[in-house]
Structure 1
């Protein structure tokens, strides 16, 4: 009986030590992957647009017992087009002062460029042997800049974000996570009205940011759901696989809706 009890204590102690190494770290990592985005911006077009994008980013995680700090920068780019008309050719005819006409043509396809910078803090609300629950807050800057023959989907968002994460340790080398993030308030910037990108005596960039509005959940909603798996390769190195679903809706001045699926792989280094 004494040997059984001693073995049990050793197993618990061994897993507790493994947990201690997991709970205190600084990690720097890089991720690559792809994402597919669907968006509609009725301010400029009733069509649904799709973007197939490649994505990359850097991230930093710092953990000291129950306190967690994290920072992330990511960007994505790819082709943007309405699926039903992706190969359609558009023509533009112009006439100069001498009456000479010229016709230019281009595809409907455009491009996207999006970037996100976020820094946050979270605290372990529940801390068990094999699972944890944390809640926190973050500041996020998000830029979406699609370029097409219309100004569809262009938006800059600076938000205060509420965060929650559940973490499960399958072993001292395997970790599963589920994260939920949503903005509670912020500043959103979109073009002020359809068909106009500037105002009298105002440059293009100034006109764009002049349309900045304070938003809450009444006018702007966004949900980020992230699922992740991490495997510890060695004392310093680890690999991750992550899936993220994002849905957003902004109704100022007119409705812009978007949802996207992200799949990435990452490599991190602990120091």
Structure 2
């Protein structure tokens, strides 16, 4: 069988030799990481934000991220940026979340961003070369208000969500637009990434074991229940929850103190895994 030729009579090798990549405009590609953890007493979720020290959005708070190298996958770039900008270990849960592609999302040039969600335990962070500071912010999504606050630095960032119904094929799909209601705003479209991540997490814990990435190696049943309640935004029935979750756990045959503030000693468990 001979070589396959296109309509101009070229083989693939001949086609590639004369191909001109400059024929098409090429956007740059970045990655951003929505890094989430639970608070010390499992009261709420926290998100890691970086304070930018250069234009654009100088001094604004943003997700950790950066440009993808020409020989990197977006996943490899996300792992590298996670280490460079925060000093955090890279052996954490990392999942591709969304592609942000609005043409004017970055004032510098045409930039397509691939967002990732990262789940871990809270730990100290170090701001990298591109950041003034790196801080954990309490994050909540209630009554159509997305709020991020750091009480130690007296920083409060809020967005009001406006529900929007649009057609996707024959199905009605719910989307949101966001309106800033505080003087301080997040850089770029990072508020949209955060909202997408929270909605993804809320949906995914209903059919996966993703929530265990937010817990230490050893925990109590009240600890697991609290994590689920914080993410879902509602109280769960203890007996039903325990009955459903126990099949995923291994008993450690010892009692430990619950992480919940004022928590008592209870049976310790570990995640069984798949």
Higher Cα radius of gyration: 1
TM over 0.5: no
Q: Which has the higher strand share?
A: 1
Superposition TM-score, scaled by structure 1 size: 0.26
Superposition TM-score, scaled by structure 2 size: 0.26
